Structure 1
Amino acid sequence: MSVTTEFTATESRTYSSAPAPGFRLGSSGLIALSWLVPVLLLVTWEALARLGWIEPHLLPAPSKVALTAYKLTVSGTLLHDLAVSLLRAAIGFAIGGGIGFALGTLVGFSRIAEAFIDRSVQMVRAIPFLAVLPLVIVWLGVGEGQKIFLVALGVAFPIYVNTTLGIRQVDPKLVELGRVQGLNTWELIARIILPGALPSILTGVRFSLATAWLALVVAETIGAQAGLGFLALDAREFLRTDVIVLTVIIYALIGVAADSLARLLERRLLTWHPNYGDGR
Structure 2
Amino acid sequence: MSDLEFSTLQYRERDGVARVTLHRPERLNAFDLVMADEIHSLWKTLRHRDSVRCVVVTGSGDRAFCTGIDRDARVPQPSSPFMVDDPGIALGPKSADLWKPVIAAVNGMACGGAFYLLGECEFIIAAEHATFFDPHVSYGMVPAYEAVHLAQRMPHGELARLALLGTAERMTARRAHEIGLVSEVVPDNAALATAAEWAARVVADSEPSAVEGTVRAIWAAREMAKGQALGLAPHLVRLGNLGAERQAELFRERPRGEGWRAR
**Which has a greater percent of strand?**
2
The higher relative CO (CA closer than 8 Å, separation ≥ 6) is in: 1
Indicate whether the TM-score tops 0.5. Answer: no
**Which has a greater percent of helix?**
1
TM-score normalised by L of structure 1: 0.24
TM-score normalised by L of structure 2: 0.25
